[in-house]
């Protein structure tokens, strides 16, 4: 188990980028052969727009990595955090770390990104995509991505999560991120069974419906039981879903400059602004 985790801790940056490329490409190709929705769009252009957002997120990730190197070293040297207070097998500690990070840095922050107006303005970019496919998983404003990294850092410090555990978690989030956004057909029975534990492609589609209440459901990234526990789960006929966001003009979803400016555009009125 230690050798397995050491592999992630010593993984060079180029291998992490290769993993991202593999996850995007595999799902992107499968979509071509067994699509769920038959979009009439320029798939390469759509991917190109979302890759711009990926580039901005990678930049944030690199900056976050530089800042946290010293934090991981300090936590290890001082044995600070909840995981250092208990003596458990490595595999149990890894599960605890993944659960803590998935809850705080994915479910909780995602919930807040929808509920806090200031944060929602940054997250709107992710929901503005009208043709959700695997590349849509990369479509995050740098501000949106920064919120997630901050919540991850808080959990890293509280639990004293080692670097190897965190990197394994990151690889898992990449896998699930692209899988759950992918536009390929999954039989409903299989998807429903898997959804009792994991976020599945059909389950996540509801989150990208253009209107409430579905927009504010299914916040999880890896595990679905957070949504079940906190009453934010929905499951219906995914064919009813219409992508996009009712607060924005669908025609702007491929306008990169406009999308980056959305959080600061006071002409865009949120529903909370109208009260």
Q: CA torsion 201→12→84→159, rounded to 10°?
A: -40
* Distance of alpha carbon 142 from alpha carbon 80, whole angstroms: 30
> In sequence order, which residues have a C-beta less than 8 Å from that of residue 53 and are 6 or more positions away?
125, 138, 139, 140, 141, 259
Distances (CA, A) of 119 to 1, 114, 162, 196, 270: 38, 7, 29, 29, 12
Residue boundaries of the structural domains of the chain: 2-264
* Distance of alpha carbon 68 from alpha carbon 70, whole angstroms: 5
* Distance of alpha carbon 3 from alpha carbon 5, whole angstroms: 5
Give the predicted TM-score (pTM) of the model: 0.92
Q: What is residue 275's predicted lDDT score, i.e. its pLDDT?
A: 47
Q: pLDDT per position in the chain (275 positions), as tens?
A: 777 777 777 888 888 889 999 999 999 999 999 999 999 889 999 999 999 999 988 888 888 888 888 899 999 999 999 999 988 999 999 999 999 999 999 999 999 999 999 999 999 999 999 999 999 999 999 999 999 999 999 999 999 999 999 999 999 999 999 999 999 999 999 999 999 999 999 999 999 999 989 999 999 999 999 999 999 999 999 999 999 999 999 999 999 999 999 999 988 878 666 54
Structure confidence by residue, pLDDT tens digits, 90-119: 999 999 999 999 999 999 999 999 999 999
What is the Rg, in whole angstroms, of the alpha carbon atoms belonging to the chain?
19
Structure confidence by residue, pLDDT tens digits, 210-259: 998 999 999 999 999 999 999 999 999 999 999 999 999 999 999 999 99
Q: What is residue 214's predicted lDDT score, i.e. its pLDDT?
A: 93
* Distance of alpha carbon 254 from alpha carbon 245, whole angstroms: 13
* Distance of alpha carbon 41 from alpha carbon 47, whole angstroms: 11
């Amino acid at each position: 188990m230690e050798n397995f985790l050491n592999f992630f801790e010593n993984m060079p940056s180029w291998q992490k980028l290769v993993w991202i490329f593999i996850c995007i490409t595999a799902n992107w190709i499968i979509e071509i052969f067994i699509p769920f929705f038959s979009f009439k769009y320029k798939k390469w252009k759509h991917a190109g727009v979302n890759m711009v957002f990926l580039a901005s997120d990678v930049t944030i990730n690199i900056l976050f990595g530089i800042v946290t190197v010293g934090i991981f070293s300090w936590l290890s040297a001082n044995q600070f955090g909840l995981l250092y207070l208990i003596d458990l097998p490595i595999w149990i500690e890894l599960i605890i770390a993944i659960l803590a990070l998935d809850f705080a840095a994915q479910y909780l922050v995602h919930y807040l990104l929808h509920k806090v107006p200031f944060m929602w303005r940054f997250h709107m970019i992710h929901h503005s995509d009208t043709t959700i496919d695997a590349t849509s998983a990369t479509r995050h404003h740098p501000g949106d991505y920064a919120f997630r990294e901050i919540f991850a850092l808080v959990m890293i410090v509280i639990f004293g999560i080692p670097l190897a555990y965190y990197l394994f978690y990151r690889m898992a989030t990449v896998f699930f991120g692209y899988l759950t956004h992918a536009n390929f057909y999954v039989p409903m029975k299989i998807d429903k069974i898997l959804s009792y534990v994991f976020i599945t492609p059909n389950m996540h589609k509801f989150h990208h419906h253009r209107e409430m209440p579905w927009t504010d459901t299914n916040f999880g990234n890896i595990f679905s039981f957070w949504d079940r526990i906190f009453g934010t789960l929905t499951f219906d006929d995914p064919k009813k879903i219409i992508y996009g966001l009712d607060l924005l003009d669908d025609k702007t979803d491929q306008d990169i400059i406009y999308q980056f400016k959305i959080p600061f555009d006071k002409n865009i009125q949120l529903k909370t602004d109208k009260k």
